[in-house]
Amino acid sequence: MQGARSSAHLLLLSCLCAAVATGYPFRMPLDLDVTPRVTVLTSGLQGCRRFHSSAVNYSTMFLEVDSEHLYVGARGAVFSLNASDISAGSALTIEWEASPKQKSLCQQKGKNNKTECFNHIRFLQRFNSTHLYMCGTHAFSPLCAYIDEKRFVMSSEPEEGKDKCPYSPTTGYTALIIDQQIYTASQYEFWSFPDIRRNSPSPTLRTEDAPTRWLNEADFVGSALVRESLGSSTGDDDKIYFFFTERSQEQSTTHSHSRVARVARVCKGDRGGHLTLQKRWTSFLKTRLICSLPEFDFHFNMLRSVFVMPGLMPQDTLFYGIFGLEWKNVKASAVCRFSLSEVQESFQGPYMENQDPGSTWKEYTGKVPDPRPGTCITDALRARGINISTSLPDDVLNFVRRHPLMSQQVQPFDRRPLLFRKTTDYTHMAAHVVHGLDGQMYHVLYMGTDEGWIHKAVEVKDQLHIIEELQLFEEPQPVTNLLMSTKQMSVYVGSPSGVVQLPLSNCRRYTSCYDCIFSRDPHCAWNGSKCVDVMAEANRSSLIQDIQHGSIGCEMMQYDIVQRSRSVRVGDDVLLQCELSSNLATPLWMLDGREVQGYDLNSGFRTGTDGLLIIEARQDQSGLYTCHTVENNIKVAIVTYNVTINLDLPLPPPIDPVRSISSILPPSTDQPSSEGPPSLPNHSELLSPRNMEAMYLSLITILGGLCVVLTVVLVYVGFCLRAGSRGKYSLRAAAAAYPSSKKSMRSRKQHRSSSHMELKTISIHCNGNGICNGVSKYNGSIQDGGFLQIVPGEGHTSFNKEPPPPAPPLPPTPQHTCDIPSGLSATLPSVLRRMNGNSYMLLRQSDSESTSPLCYSFSEELNRILEKRKHTQLLPRPDESSV
């Protein structure tokens, strides 16, 4: 049942993109799968420092604003690292492993001796000015201990930790030390109820279980102290907020979600009740956090983590939440932001009530006792003689006991997520505010994924633009913690294998003025010759930056265009390489000033992610080719090729099998004189066969990868169309392919009559400014022209007709990752990432073959090209760059 529902939602999810972009006209459409602009693999990371030891599971981290040390809790050890360089050799260690006796007891309890029967450090914070406090699971028998900060040693024997620390390393848990009082929230033991506690000093306080259970299978992800006492020296209105997901109590008629995201709060000054609510919170209230796309009835109910962003004033505090879907096998994340004032408003609003256990919860409309239940004991109450929570009237306490839940739900900022991403599970995030050179304040977010990537994003016009995605680990592994320090200009990332320290920005990555402003990174600006870190520049007046649009400022800048020449024979296939560094850019090729139609089968050209392919070159295709990158509606030339296509070349010598798919360089000439047939390889350098082979292999890989992706998309799409039972969704062709939309319109018109698939994009692709060009401009024509009409079955039958060598197998079900033949698998993931971002495909279904599935023609085309390569010879010119 759950499984069926989850796959139904998976399908829905895959339809969402098209549906939102076309079907929700009242607001700027939300980019439903924000593409990171730049992809940086581990090999390209710069300025990254790492710490690891023999320990694993570096999941607890503690860093103070001005601290020089980053404290890290791992499995069986705690480390004190130099925060300015965690890889510096000065790390101090406290080894704290569970005793062998405790481990065997743990195993006897039936726990996993490979994961659970260790001392996982779960809590590590400052206790007082000289000591830290930590707790570990200690092989299912939690212990806590003080650390002498200066000497970095345990300062006393460990003490009992059962009431402060969960038993298992994976149970949801959050804890805070405030004024030497320890607040924790967890489901401490497997069989106990979840509980929010103040552990010391006495009286210890807890949440109530009867007659109304305040928490239901709560899974805690975070907590924060907000000092909201205005004008009070004693801080008597300060509150502690707890964030969690729990089983839903209120069965609302519209949705039947089993779990919901919540925020709860208690007053710091709470002392419990006198007779009623003795040793229980008198100020516990909770409310629901909403993060959804209501127009699609799509609700992100699982709160995975929160980041609390303090404001100038306490009431300006913001809560960022990372949310996921309830279905575990569906990857998707949304980031929603809530303001403290809206949360406070909910706690000031009506309560929910259920009269008898088992009945449904409804809004309470009766009389609310005075003082208002759940409020903190402030001066106003003291003036009325209520000095402490134990002196609250009994009717108030009884009301609190039975009305923990508020009726008004908390909506996110702008009533929708800031970011939505399919295929990514974010785990943790941090954010800060950066002053742009335009005088605006920008929120910059760092988000870690379950596969060890960091996405850096900036919020522009209420949407997130992902500046870059960084692969931190060769081995995919979840980001288990993430902290940020503006003092150290670093982000610290915890993971199972170690800790990574990243610089907040890496502006040097952008090598041209346009690249620098396209990035829209508030940390970076162009100073006339380099992309520099704004913080490090004393004179900011001449810096160029355009975060709002990512397009303005570089018009007057000179930049270099790489110039190359190629000389080939008639009938050859030529690949003119042009690699775009941005996933949001599209290539635009010009031949002698006219646009090359690289998407039309009959044009003899193919545009791909890494260049332009001239198929069976004709003499009239000679000329000056210029590759432009088009981003944010700006066209920037990056490389030119002077291509000469010669009629008569001396026949090549017989080619041995290895060299047959390699190409041979003509003698290199320093002048761009491509006229005259170059003499053949008597002495010049040969392009190494291996290189060429690798090139072809990667071409095959790319094609194979596209094939898999397309097949998956087709199957999804097919299901979507059939599963259109919900009626709200109509799937339209992903039409926002090219910023130069005229071109796509033109080609679309040509194909409209046959109206078969024209899969130029895998996903709706929007430029960084969040506007889907094609869709917003050409909505009408897309609707009649671009419906996808694909029957999944067709793909299978024709695919089997003539299975070409490099064709990948069809994925068994949409939600499983595809099996890819062994040779391809190594390179495929990174290739696919790029493909997904680049909004165009190498090949396209032609009219004449419109009934055959895509994979078939892909492979056929590839075969044809490769077959030809065996017989003809490719004669590229050397890549001399003569500027």
Ligand X SMILES: *[C@@H]1O[C@H](CO)[C@@H](O)[C@H](O)[C@H]1NC(C)=O
Residues in contact with ligand X by CB under 6 A are 56-57, 59, 68, 82, 84-85, 88, 90, 113-115, 127-131, 146, 169-170, 385, 387, 391, 480, 496
d(CA 19, CA 13) in angstroms, rounded, equals 10
Which amino acid is residue 379, in one-letter code? D
Q: Choose between 88 and 230: whose C-beta lies nearer to ligand X.
A: 88
Beta strand 463-471 with 38-40 is: parallel
Torsion of CA 357, 362, 367, 372, to 10 degrees: 90
Q: Choose between 498 and 876: whose C-beta lies nearer to ligand X.
A: 498
Shortest Cβ distance from residue 103 to ligand X (Å)? 7
Q: Choose between 128 and 797: whose C-beta lies nearer to ligand X.
A: 128
Question: Which tokens sit at 66?
Answer: 């001005």
Which amino acid is residue 71, in one-letter code? Y
Q: Choose between 170 and 750: whose C-beta lies nearer to ligand X.
A: 170
Q: Choose between 103 and 732: whose C-beta lies nearer to ligand X.
A: 103
Q: Choose between 59 and 141: whose C-beta lies nearer to ligand X.
A: 59
Instruction: Collapse the DSSP code of 218 into the 3-class scheme (helix H, G, I; strand E, B; otherwise coil) and give the result.
Output: coil
Q: Check residue 70 and report its DSSP letter.
A: E
Beta strand 426-435 with 441-449 is: antiparallel
Shortest Cβ distance from residue 483 to ligand X (Å)? 17
Q: Choose between 106 and 818: whose C-beta lies nearer to ligand X.
A: 106
Q: Choose between 163 and 860: whose C-beta lies nearer to ligand X.
A: 163
Question: Which tokens sit at 104?
Answer: 């065997």
d(CA 831, CA 827) in angstroms, rounded, equals 6
Shortest Cβ distance from residue 477 to ligand X (Å)? 7
Shortest Cβ distance from residue 397 to ligand X (Å)? 16
414 in the Ramachandran plot: left (φ > 0), alpha (ψ -120 to 50) or beta? left
Q: Choose between 475 and 847: whose C-beta lies nearer to ligand X.
A: 475
Shortest Cβ distance from residue 59 to ligand X (Å)? 5
Q: Name the residue with tokens 């097949």.
A: 711
Q: Choose between 31 and 219: whose C-beta lies nearer to ligand X.
A: 219
Q: Choose between 493 and 831: whose C-beta lies nearer to ligand X.
A: 493
Phi and psi at 287, nearest 5°, equal -150, 170
User: Is-cis flag, bond preceding 211, omega within 30?
Assistant: yes
Would you list the DSSP string of 676-716?
Answer: SPPP-SSSSPBPPHHHHHHHHHHHHHHHHHHHHHHHHHHHH
Shortest Cβ distance from residue 25 to ligand X (Å)? 45
Shortest Cβ distance from residue 203 to ligand X (Å)? 17
Q: Do the Cβ atoms of 181 and 195 come closer than 8 Å?
A: no
Q: Do the Cβ atoms of 225 and 207 come closer than 8 Å?
A: no
Q: Name the residue with tokens 């920005």.
A: 505
Shortest Cβ distance from residue 427 to ligand X (Å)? 11
Task: Kindly report the number of other CB atoms within 10 A of residue 455's CB atom.
Answer: 23
Torsion of CA 787, 791, 792, 795, to 10 degrees: -100
Q: Choose between 68 and 867: whose C-beta lies nearer to ligand X.
A: 68
Q: Which residues contact 246 (CB under 8 A, 6 or more apart)?
A: 194, 215, 216, 217, 218, 219, 259, 260, 262
Shortest Cβ distance from residue 432 to ligand X (Å)? 22
Which amino acid is residue 391, in one-letter code? S
Question: Which tokens sit at 305?
Answer: 């983590």
Q: Counting runs of H as helices and runs of E as strands, what totals does the chain give?
A: 14, 43
Question: Which tokens sit at 460?
Answer: 């522009």
Shortest Cβ distance from residue 478 to ligand X (Å)? 8
Shortest Cβ distance from residue 770 to ligand X (Å)? 36
Shortest Cβ distance from residue 699 to ligand X (Å)? 36
Q: Among candidates 319, 306, 164, 351, which has minimal Cα distance to 226?
A: 319
Q: Choose between 84 and 563: whose C-beta lies nearer to ligand X.
A: 84
Give burial (CB, 10 Å; 0-12/13-18/19+) of 807.
buried
Shortest Cβ distance from residue 456 to ligand X (Å)? 24
